Structure 1
Amino acid sequence: MKLPSLFRTAQPMRFDIKPRFYDPVKEEIEQRTARIKKELQAEGKLPYEEGYDPENDSFRGSAIRGAFTQGSPIKGKTSTPFSNTGFLRLLIFLVLITLVFGYVYYGPDAVYYLLYFATGVLLVSLIVKLKGRLKQ
């Protein structure tokens, strides 16, 4: 069982190479069949494929066209500052620094005040989350 950690551990890199083979005979056969297929479609002996434009000799409505112009991250994933792990680490660091300096300057009372404050913030956040779920 793995214990939770604040820091990421390095994962071993995987080496996966996909070999590519060049077969000139196979490539020539594919080019010839594509050329013959186009000639037969031009003569009307074979039906055109869906989305094929014989005047432009190209496919219309390509799925790739405009795919990179969106300029947005993966759809469905919204990043909020509170879901970021870096923000969580910063928050924990600030709480610990505040705890240490509060203890040095004010004594043990600062620790209790900080614990009361953290409990209050936790309760308020839980109430807000539950209220949001009840609306849905």
Structure 2
Amino acid sequence: MKFPSIFRVNQPRRFQINPRHYDPVKEEIHQRTENIKRELEARGVLESEDREELDRRYSHGSSIRGAFTSGSPIKKQPSTVMQSAGMMRMIIFVLLVAGFGGYLYIGPDFFYYLLYLGAAVALLVSLFKLKPSKKKAT
């Protein structure tokens, strides 16, 4: 027996699902009208443009089908080398190994050399980006 209380006691949440309403009669009517429209299109009474518009409007196919594979970055080939994840990992690995080896071989001055080299590369890249590209005159 539960005693009356002025305090509200939390209870565990219960799984609650709200099912969508499925009307088999409406579904059957829709399928019949689709079959009749296909027959009319086959006879030439209904134009195919109308059929395409109706298909788009009343398509029962999944709009998700193939969406995960078509939008996946794994499927697409990278357009540049820098967009490839494997290439970026390799570059980072080589830089780490070279930095560690350089530190062991040269000492702490190696990081200053890397800093100057990085600044020079950044300067060259920025200069090439600022340089106007030559276009063919047609």
TM bin (shorter chain): 0.3 to 0.5
Q: TM-score w.r.t. structure 2 length?
A: 0.46
Q: Which has the higher helix share?
A: 2
Asked which structure has the greater RCO (Cα within 8 Å, sep 6+), the reply is 1
Q: TM-score w.r.t. structure 1 length?
A: 0.46
